[in-house]
Structure 1
Amino acid sequence: MAAVGLVEGITHEPDDKCPLTVSVSVGLQGLLLAIAPTVLTMSLFARAAGLGERYLAWSVLAAILISGIATALQAARLGRLGGGHNLVSGTASGFVAVGLVAVNEAGLETLTTLVVVSSVLQLVLGGYLRRLRRIITPVVSGVVLMLISVGIMQVVVARLAASEGAPALAEPAVAAVTVAGAALLGLRARGVLRLWSPMVGVLAGCAAAAAFGLYSAQRVVDAPWIGVPEPWFPGFDLTPGRQFWALLPMFLIVSTATAIKSVGGSVAVQRVSWREPRVTDYRLVQGAVSANGVCGVLSGIAGTLPTWGFEASSVSLANFTGVAARRVGYAIGIMLVALTFLPKVTALLLTIPDPVISAYLLVIMGMLFVEGFRTVLQDGLEPRKALIVGVSLAVGIGLQGENAVAELIGGTWGTLLGDGLTMGTLTAVLLTAFIEVSSARRRRLELELHMNALPEIDEFLETLATSIGWDEASTGRLRFVGEEALSSLLEMNEDEAPRRLVVVARPGAGLVELEFLAGLADENIQDQLAYLSNQTDATEQREVSLRLLRHFASAVRHRKYSGIDIVTVEVEGSR
């Protein structure tokens, strides 16, 4: 019997014990994907903030070290910590803009405090994702990612000023060569070569910089081959003032966006890591978010920017190599940690000139903007969602271009209300909450997960259909779907002790969305539906129940969280 949706390219799944040679060889490729963005992002931040050579050297080494820890943690499964899949991690470029604001207005100690506090938020979010799903929607998530990318684009473009002693157009020309090299190769290359197009652009930019006299390799010559990093912890601001409180919302928003990005990265990596497609295990997603929060706290202690997962690189690594075993994640983590004891390697990366780094991040931020747009489109872009996106981006980008509010109000409130990222995100959240509150009142029923609950569920759904004026056929379909959903849940839970079941109904335009929330066994409704899609032979009674559920419901989704499974069923009807 052929497997459904078999992914032929995967040779080693996450739980497989692949040979050491395979782990190391694939790990080396992952190492190259992590080291460049980590070093380049921290270099740009340290130089733009004017924090000096000592901070630059320490922050880059600390960022590499924490990136190694983060990558290894993402591969691990330590209780509720770790995503159980290979998610290559490195310094989060999304924090560059807010980090520069924090350093310029309040100092490095305030930055470290803000990073720690905002990273703790990710640890909290890891356990409460299911409760935020109605507000932190794909629309809100996408808007935040787009606003972050636009803010950083402005920073990197501002860095393209002529260097002292260099021709006036030297830095813009070097940046143009870098962008052109990355873009042209990315447009024409196929397969694994496309994955390396940003690095090829960096090499082309370095060559152009050397031609303009902007490149110096003296740092590499002076650096030893082996050395122990000298720790340098900037400390914390234990008496936060008004600037801290004004900046905190910005960091909380970016941290939330980082958590959302971790969710997307974990989901994407899970989908490509198995030969036979599986429904996303959101317990592992929560573990990935929590692991990122832990590493964010470590970043704050070390005085660097937090980490996030490089989703595209991680997915490409699994697709191109066919190896998704967790041992690869451990190998990448170990090698990143080992690099902190090889100063000459990091010195080589630190010689990359500013215009090359700026151009590299410009390309990366362009892709992040596209990622945000794709996130917005996940659930469709109907008129109400389009209005939320348009208004939120107008407010956010408008304030990023001209902070008129800060000029009018001044002080802490001026800093807070004048920040484009904060206000754009707040606009998206408030408009989304308004839709949620102003929609038809949801109905809720709580009872024991048992077949004896069927009469109550049936009466609940019949009353609902009558109240919204559905005809007899639509009412019967709604009741039938409720019965089959309950039956399917019970069949998957037949060996477990009785659990509580919560049924939430949300009437909409021409449909009703039903959510069944219960503690379930490991099996998943969507797994069963995928299995049945290619089967035409005689089936068991349980399979018949799943077929009927799929036939009468317009959509069936199942999400797994720690301690709870959420089954969402949409039923269309008419009056």
Structure 2
Amino acid sequence: MNEMKAPAGSVFEMSGVPPMKQVVPLGLQHVVAAIVGVITPAILVSNAVGLEVADKTLLIQVSLLITAIATLVQVFGLWRVGAKLPVVMGVSFAYVPTLLALANGYHDLSVILGAQIVGGCVAILFGIFVKQLRVFFPPMVTGTVIFTIGLSLYPTAVKYMAGGAGAADFGSWQNWLVAVITLAVVIFCNNFTKGVTKLASILMGIIVGYLVALCFGMVDFSSVGAAGIVAVPVPFKFGIKFVPAACVSMAVMYIVNSVQTIGDLTSTTLGGLDREPTDRELSGGIVCQGAASVVGAFFGGLPTASYSQNVGIVTVNRVVNRVVFGFAAVVLLIAGFVPKFSALLTTIPQCVIGGATISVFATITMTGIRMISSAGLTPRNVSIVGIAVALGVGVTQVSGSLAGFPEWVGTVFGGSSVVISTLIAILLNLILPKDRAAGK
């Protein structure tokens, strides 16, 4: 009888089944870390396009479903699709600048979805040939990408801590108090406790922050009451159109985000498994990203990518068990079919999310620094990293710096520091003479 039971396993090993008392809090931590990132792009795009309330709700629901399905495929694999690594996939903030530019330019969601299909196909091709393309992304270049990703996420965390961009009470002392309390609980649990409390420090911080926000009257339950019981997505609800300019913009973004996925997968294996990812894992991971985007487009789901904030959690607590991530995906799947459940998750104030995730974003940045340091801080590498980050962050921080170029240049390069930093790092790595002593 005993041999028929699943192995107890450990949360620090990918295989096996850990106790549910560990799986539940650790899985919920990933759900909470991802939930705002999943629904916010859908809200922003639906507002920019001008969708009705019912369609906006549907867009959010599909985002949850696609996130869940993509995560399950990424974690457990489906033929050669999926990295089979502990990575959460979801609708990504990285595409938001381009999505909003297309929404404001065309006011038609079908144009975005058509461009997304093309971009997803480009990502699939990138994943298939990643072994040949990986030579362009040594640890120093990948470290630069991860470092820039971390830096680019700081403003997002701070906006959350201040209450969320566009909020009536943005920057209020109440928002900052709740955010700081949340962050303090995360730091305390991570450094002064043991066991599940330490491993689920992000979740502990969010629970305390949520209770404090509740006392301040900052939690709005109206969306829960208005939400339906069950919602099933309908294919081709929003239509699909292929506009060449839009397709090119999205294709470029998918290439860049494929590089980001390399960074996230590398960060996951380094932080959680103490090794580099294999070519097979990178290929499956990127193909999964592209395939999820293509399938999602038919139902109204927005572009998917690996979630850096969840990668950061792995690097902090080193929990890599597939069951934990599978549980998180199932929770998101339920949320996608049960609007009232997903609406409850969205009641978490943004200041709480910001206070909980800023430490995660800091960890991502430090992972990039560690990779850069592992390549050696030679004059050549210092130049590559310094110039790439300076141009990437600098251009995106100065509004209108690309005003003299065609509009598509600003759309592609002006909205994301990761795009510029990645391209500059690759270019300089190819051009600058190798270090003789190090052979690099």
Q: TM-score, normalised by structure 1?
A: 0.62
For residue 67 of structure 1, give the secondary structure of its aligned residue in structure 2. Answer: helix
Q: Is the 1:85–1:329 contact (alpha carbons within 8 Å) kept by the matching residues of 2?
A: no
Residue 230 of structure 1 deviates from its aligned partner by 4.6
What is the CA–CA distance in structure 1 between the aligned matches of 2:137 and 2:159, rounded to whole Å?
Answer: 32
SS in 2 for 1:407: coil
Identity of aligned residues (%): 22
1:259-274 aligned within 5 A: 259-265=262-268, 271=273
| Structural mapping, 1:182-193, within 5 Å | 182-193=186-197
2:220 to 216, 235, 244: 216
Q: Check the 8 A contact 2:89/2:304 in 1, yes or no.
A: no
The answer to whether the Cα contact below 8 Å between 1:110 and 1:237 also exists between their aligned partners in 2 is yes
Who is 1:427 aligned against? 424
User: Which of 283, 288, 297 is residue 285 of structure 2 equivalent to?
Assistant: 288
Instruction: Please state whether the residue corresponding to 1:405 is helix, strand or coil.
Output: coil
Matches within 5 A, 1:538-557: none
What SS does the aligned partner of 1:409 have?
Answer: coil
The equivalent residue for 1:255 is 258
Match in the other structure for 2:138: 137
**Would you say 1:240 and 2:244 are equivalent positions?**
yes
Counterpart in 1 of 2:350? 354
Task: Say if 2:202 is the partner of 1:198.
Answer: yes
Shift of 1:364: 3.6
Q: Does 1:407 align with 2:403?
A: yes
Residue deviations 1:500-546, cap 9 Å, x none?
xxxxxxxx625779xxxxxxxxxxxxxxxxxxxxxxxxxxxxxxxxx
Q: What TM-score do the two structures reach when normalised by structure 2?
A: 0.78
Looking at structure 2, the residues matched to 412 and 30 of structure 1 have their Cα atoms a distance apart, in angstroms, of 42
Select 1:369's aligned residue among 365, 368, 373: 365
Q: Does the 8 Å contact 1:185/1:197 carry over to 2?
A: yes
SS at match of 2:306: strand
1:6-25 equivalences under 5 Å are 10=10
Q: Which has the higher strand share?
A: 1
Q: Where in structure 2 are the equivalents of 1:32-71 lying within 5 Å?
A: 32-49=28-45, 51=47, 53-54=53-54, 57-71=57-71
Bigger relative contact order, structure 1 or 2 (CA pairs below 8 A, ≥6 apart) = 2
Taking the aligned partners of 2:216 and 2:12, their CA distance within structure 1 comes to 47
Contact kept in structure 1, 2:312 and 2:363, CA below 8 Å: no
Q: Distance in 1 between matches of 2:390 and 2:123?
A: 28
Unaligned runs of 5+ in 1: 1-7, 273-277, 440-507, 514-575
Measured in 1, the distance between the counterparts of 2:21 and 2:29 equals 13
Residues 368-387 of structure 1: pairs in structure 2 closer than 5 A: 368-387=364-383
- Residue pair 2:122, 2:290 contacting (<8 A) in 1 also: yes
CA contact (8 A) 2:202 2:357 kept: no
What is the correspondence of 1:123-522 to structure 2 with a 5 Å cutoff?
Answer: 123-158=124-159, 160=162, 163-164=167-168, 168-223=172-227, 226-231=229-234, 233-241=237-245, 245-246=248-249, 248-265=251-268, 271=273, 281-301=278-298, 302-308=300-306, 310-313=310-313, 319=319, 324=321, 333-416=329-412, 418-419=414-415, 420-435=417-432, 438-439=433-434, 509-510=436-437
Counterpart of 1:509, as a letter, is R
- The question of whether the paired residues in 2 share the 8 Å contact of 1:166 and 1:214 is answered with no
| 1:431 CA displacement | 0.4
Rounded to whole Å, the distance in 1 between the matches of 2:187 and 2:129 is: 39
> Which amino acid is 1:72 matched to?
L
The whole-number CA distance in structure 2 between the counterparts of 1:95 and 1:423 is 14
1:521-575 superposed Cα distances (whole Å, 9 cap, x missing partner): xxxxxxxxxxxxxxxxxxxxxxxxxxxxxxxxxxxxxxxxxxxxxxxxxxxxxxx
- Cα 1:12–1:245 shift into 2, 3 Å: closer
The alignment of Structure 1 onto Structure 2 pairs a total of residues equal to 420
Of 151-160 and 253-262, more deviation after overlay is shown by 151-160
CA contact (8 A) 1:115 1:296 kept: yes
Work out which of the two has the higher radius of gyration on C-alpha atoms and give 1 or 2: 1
Answer yes or no: is the 8 Å Cα contact 2:27–2:324 preserved in 1.
no
Structure 1 residues 340, 208: CA separation in 2 closer, same or farther (over 3 Å shift)? Answer: same
Deviation at 1:393, TM superposition (A): 1.0
